[in-house]
Amino acid sequence: MAGAMESMAEMFGLQGKVAIVTGSSRGIGRSIAECMAGLGAKVVVSSRKADACEQVANGIKARGGEAAVIPCNISRKEEVEALVDGTLRRFERIDVLVCNAAVNPVFGPLAQLSDEAFDKIMGSNVKSNLWLCNRAIPGMAARGGGAVIIVSSIAGLRGNSVIGAYGISKAADFALARNLAVEWGPKNVRVNCIAPGLIKTDFARALWENPDLLKSRTAAAPLRRTGTPDEIGGIAAFLASPAASFITGQIIVADGGVTIA
């Protein structure tokens, strides 16, 4: 039994792995960073504000984990490159990349969407992920493999009358993951997406704080509730672990069943 327990720990563990998690000062990103650190990974906590990242990193260290802070605005290519290069200087390797940071500056119909807003959404939610992957994946491949997780959304699976541009960007992330999975699979680099439904985060506050919208949304979901960030953190950790070694190019939907009801 002890041997089986040890092998299970190895299968689902991240001991000694180095993981970058963007947008990890709060919400889903924070939960991913904390979960991976709890499973043994050395985590780079990153978002625009260094002080918020330090709070997360200090919490990880207080629980016996290892974490570093490298602030990054994902819309700026030079900062994206500095994030990857800084991680390599600190830890000498990258095993896991979690592209979680995203923006949604508008709430309304596509007919009212400005070019500037569209470019910002696509740049931050899609192009920045490509920047990160192109910078980090070659090193993973050279060391024998790695895992990339892109946090997308069920908005990329369904039409929406108020966050259409966000949904377009998240659908593009699905295609990005599939294409990168095809390109880098022969080098043992796996690329997958998580598509959360309505999760109770600050990012989705406009949705879950609307009582009418929340009531209709949860009534239509088989689990009859919203999700929590920790319910996404565990999925990301699984996708990064040896237990998911035969999974690539996939979309893992975590939405309480709302898209199947």
* Look-up of token digits 């009212």: 112
- Give the residue ranges of DSSP H helices in 16-163: 27-38, 50-62, 77-91, 115-122, 128-142
- Phi, psi angles (nearest 5°) of residue 224: 60, 35
The one-letter code for the residue type at 8 is: M
Specify the DSSP class assigned to residue 163: B
Buried b or exposed e, range 95-108, using 16+ CB within 10 angstroms: bbbbbbbbbbebee
**For residues 187 and 143, is the Cβ–Cβ distance under 8 A?**
no
- Is 166 marked active-site? yes
- Among candidate residues 70, 71, 106, 166, the one labeled active-site is 166
Distance separating alpha carbons of residues 139 and 152, to the nearest angstrom: 24
The count of other CB atoms within 10 Å of the CB of residue 161 is 8
Distance CA 254, CA 250 (A): 13
Give the residue numbers marked as catalytic.
166
